Amino acid sequence: MTDFVIYLGDVITANNIMVANASLYWDQAISPTQNRGIPWASVFGNHDDAPFEWPLEWFSTLGIPQIRCPPTGTFCSGEEGCFKGTGRPELLKNEIKHNGSFSTYGPRNLWPSVSNYVLQVSSSDDPQLPLAFLYFLDSGGGSYPEIISSAQAEWFQQKSKQINSDSRVPEIIFWHIPSTAYKTVAPKLTIQKPCVGSINKESVASQEAEMGIMNLLVNRTSVKAIFVGHNHGLDWCCPYQKLWLCYARHTGYGGYGDWPRGARILEITENPFSLKTWIRMEDGQMHSEVGLS
């Protein structure tokens, strides 16, 4: 039984979507979770608010296919305004209309990065008592650089100090584009211990620069692991100083690559706290189990 689903960004490939408002596609992507009554949260990736990219072949003798602009209810005026991509705030505004979404807007001063927030996993005995904190950060891309800014790092520092000053409660971190630290632990050819995983078919495509978030995370004993998406051909977890750097597994039917689809599962136990993860493939096969706490 799944208690919660986390969408780690690139929910949609907006650069392939020829409409003014991509929220309909976002809704479709989220719908399997929503239809099962499972709560979820999301962060943005680099494709979610990307502008439409005109395919080169449309400029051959085949010509540009007939373009459908949604007639009403959108901000586009005329055909030229139709394909600018749907901004992060607008995509999120639409998502959180749905019952079951735990996504929220981050502080306004962190924009254009939007999905910066924290969720509390509570003890089963006491809803007030935190068992873990899940931090979500927007690693950029699409409409602005692929980066976690120093302002976001400062936000994390203040927030974690405020709600978990003694680092007693474990913290788990989620964003879309791997930090440059992933490059330093990436398996060379085959995935060997202490790394755990099943595919290593690409180079790490990391953020453009490191602005301080990693330094904060490795120096907090309560931070157990970071989970990212972005590279569809990688699904490993590797230790990095005192924490784990993990990839998820390409789950959706969009995006590049035809590696078999799966999802990374996280299992948290209470008394004592433990964090375990593995990958469950679309056909139900499970592999790459590892303890992260």
Q: Which residues bind Zn ion (CB under 5 A)?
A: 10, 45-46, 230
* Closer to Zn ion by Cβ: residue 12 or 195: 12
Cα dist from 208 to 149, 219, 291, whole Å: 11, 22, 30
State the amino acid at position 221 in one-letter form: T
CB of 146 to Zn ion, least distance (A): 8
* Closer to Zn ion by Cβ: residue 10 or 171: 10
* Closer to Zn ion by Cβ: residue 139 or 164: 139
* Closer to Zn ion by Cβ: residue 195 or 228: 228
CB of 8 to Zn ion, least distance (A): 9
* Closer to Zn ion by Cβ: residue 45 or 197: 45
Q: Write down the number of H helices and E strands in the chain.
A: 5, 11
Per-residue DSSP letter, 279: E
CA distance 183 to 216: 18
* Closer to Zn ion by Cβ: residue 54 or 256: 256
CB of 71 to Zn ion, least distance (A): 32
Which residue, judged by CB position, is nearest to Zn ion in the bound state?
Answer: 230
Contact call for residues 20 and 49 (beta carbons, < 8 A): no
CA distance 225 to 40: 19
CB of 79 to Zn ion, least distance (A): 28
* Closer to Zn ion by Cβ: residue 33 or 46: 46
CA distance 11 to 40: 13
CB of 280 to Zn ion, least distance (A): 21
Characterise 271 by phi-psi region: left (phi > 0), alpha (psi -120 to 50), beta (else).
left
Kindly give, in sequence order, each residue whose CB lies less than 8 Å from that of residue 21, ignoring residues fewer than 6 positions away. Answer: 70, 73, 74, 75, 86, 90
CA distance 276 to 149: 29
**Alpha helices per DSSP H over 9-117:** 23-35, 88-95
* Closer to Zn ion by Cβ: residue 220 or 249: 249
Kindly give, in sequence order, each residue whose CB lies less than 8 Å from that of residue 96, ignoring residues fewer than 6 positions away. Answer: 103, 104
CB of 3 to Zn ion, least distance (A): 26
CB of 228 to Zn ion, least distance (A): 9
CA distance 266 to 227: 10
Cα dist from 112 to 106, 151, 188, whole Å: 10, 11, 35
Q: What are the tokens at 118?
A: 């924290």
CB of 182 to Zn ion, least distance (A): 13
